[in-house]
Structure 1
Amino acid sequence: QYLEVLRSHQNRPAKCLTVLWALGQAGFTDLHEGLKVWLGVMLPVLGIKSLSPYAVSYLDRLLMMHPNLTKGFGMIGPKDFFPLLDFAFMPNNSLSPSLQEQLRRLYPRLKVLAFGARPEAALHTYFPSFLSRATPACPPAMKKELLTSMSQCLSLDPLSFSVWRQLYTKHLAQSSLLLNHLLESWESSSKKVHQSLQETVRSFKVTNEELAARGAGGDQDVAACDAACKELLRKMKGRGFPWSRLLLVLLVFGAGFFLHDVQTHGSFQASSSARLLRSAGILPASQLAWQKVSLGCLEGYRWLERSLAHHGSTAVSILWPQLELLWETSGEVARGVFQQCCSLLSWLHSSLPWLSDWLQNRLPESLLHFAECVRELLLFLVRSCLVPLLQGLATVLQQGWQRCLDSCNGDVTWMCVRDHLMSFTYSSWIYLQNATLALKNWALAMISGH
């Protein structure tokens, strides 16, 4: 009745808006009544230019006043949802771009209302309309939303797969897009979807062969679907048996059994594992192999020690004068660059006095004061922090090098460096052992105290 009034008075917007305002008052206290009014009266007039702004703003206010959408479940069905989807995403419709953008912002909440409290039992009824709209020519934003929604239907409602199989031959182009989307999002989909999808893709593959043999359907669409099906089947087969996980589990169990065996018998030699390896001949063979490997490593270490001692001393004697010369040259270059920069700055200061006057006349006093503060801060940081830090670092490096020279009797050789490294490694290892022992004693004391 109210809809007939609105349609008969389209040329009198003020009266129509009054009717809409009066009907919409019930929705501000009850979401169910508000949606009932909006779907029954305002949605049918959404394309009318003079009434569309009020209809969209009322829906926005209604959903903002009722953030808990559970009272509205069951109100929006496929019949009402898909016109809203078209209004929100299809370009060049009867809504202005600003209203369409506003409706698109409301679309996620409308989608929640449409899918309801149990989407796993309702999504298969939405799947056909999603599929029919997902044509290759549809706008990118709408295509993305349709593919995402169809993936949601397949993952939540298993009946969507049977609906898809029934519609497959009539929607080959759309199915090709969906198959490729599932292929791209394969890694993020669940195993449950993989199992149901495997049966569906196999049936699609049989259908593709039949269509190709009969020459029915678009050859391009059939070929695209067949290629996507083959790639999906290849990914499904590629998963295979989880041999790596099985080997990891066996390795963990084997290590646990071995440790338990050794702990039970008190030592490895007395354990059952050692007796088994000894009776099989594996233990003597492994011991012999270990002796050979140890001997080879020892000989290699001795050869490396002799070679490095000789070649290291030679390299130090040859390269050290060059490094000293390079250090002196670098210092001279740095001093020269610094002097050139100072000369350039002084030339700029003496040759361009007008720049300072121009800046003082053009820039605000507060900005000049801020620049002066920044300059003073930078000078303070350089003089108080950077220069002392560099001087301290240079002093530490010089003292360290002098200590190294003193400990090596003025001649830095590979033998001396090796002794220092071994001493440092040994002291670090002793410190680590002592720290670990202290930590263990502290933990035992804490446990016994409680």
Structure 2
Amino acid sequence: MSETLYDSFEKMGKKQNKEQVPPAAEPENKKPSSSKPSKKTPSSSTVTSPAHKSLEEAFKALDVGDLKEQLAHSQTLFPENPSVWLKDLAGYLNLHLTAPEAEPTLSSYAHDYPYCLTGKELKGVIKGLIARCGDILPDLFDHCVYTMLRELDRQSGEPLHGYRVCIQAILQDKPRIATQNLSEYLELLRSVQNRPVKCLTIMWALGQAGFFDLSQGLRVWLGIMLPVLGVKSLSSYAIAYLERLLLLHANLTKGFGIMGPKEFFPLLDFAFMPKNALSPSLQEQLRRLYPRLKVLAFGAKPESTLHTYLPSFLSRATPHCPDDMKREPFVY
């Protein structure tokens, strides 16, 4: 993996500390050591950006001119390696957008938060660099997601706002990037299933594609969120995301052809079958979304597609089947 400008500076700093800093001189008269441990002072070589009270304040304080200079320097040092430029962009933004971290799904904010906070000049810098590096944007997306997950492992991890901004900027222009490796991300999601914050971070990142492209959002939901819908710590966000996705895209025609019987009937069971993994309130929330999901499944000509669904509908027509589900094959 190519070394970024910030990696180079960090290594240079460590080398200088080892080679140039002389050992502290011993005092002439040694005092007996106290039983109380002395307080450690933070190293003066540690470079940190000042924390801001809010993310809005952090964006206002960000020096776009300095960012341009850093990116120009990165491109001079690594003229043939745009991957380094992009990673330096993400690293710079994350280093300077130091504000309290919100919960991982940002559900209480607008769907395009925090990218919506970028000013015109900063947005131009981000979009300009992304436009020059189209072929390697999938690598930047993966880099941002995996770096966020690593930060969550650290006891005093950095805020993740800069990486979130880059993810949203990428998927706004190239939403299909989020669905290129869904099977790998599902495997990753399952591997950290006992870490809900990590899972929700992955789901948030991939889900950003849906706010710019309904078909990609449905692919993310069916490929990543439906398989974990029965996981208590993840089901609430999965349904909330689906609700926001369907409300944002009033025209469902762009989502036709994504969902088939294989995806539809697990949703039907979650929505109507009693005593499943969903809480009653989440089941009711999903049931309210069900009519729109059925439109997406049956497509533009339900009369010509219903026959592919009918056998599975009939197999559910048992004495224990809820009445609402029994009526479903005849309501469209």
> Could you state the TM-score of these two structures normalised by the residue count of structure 2?
0.44
> Which protein is bigger by CA-based radius of gyration?
1
- Higher RCO (C-alpha under 8 Å, 6+ residues apart): 2
> Could you state the TM-score of these two structures normalised by the residue count of structure 1?
0.33
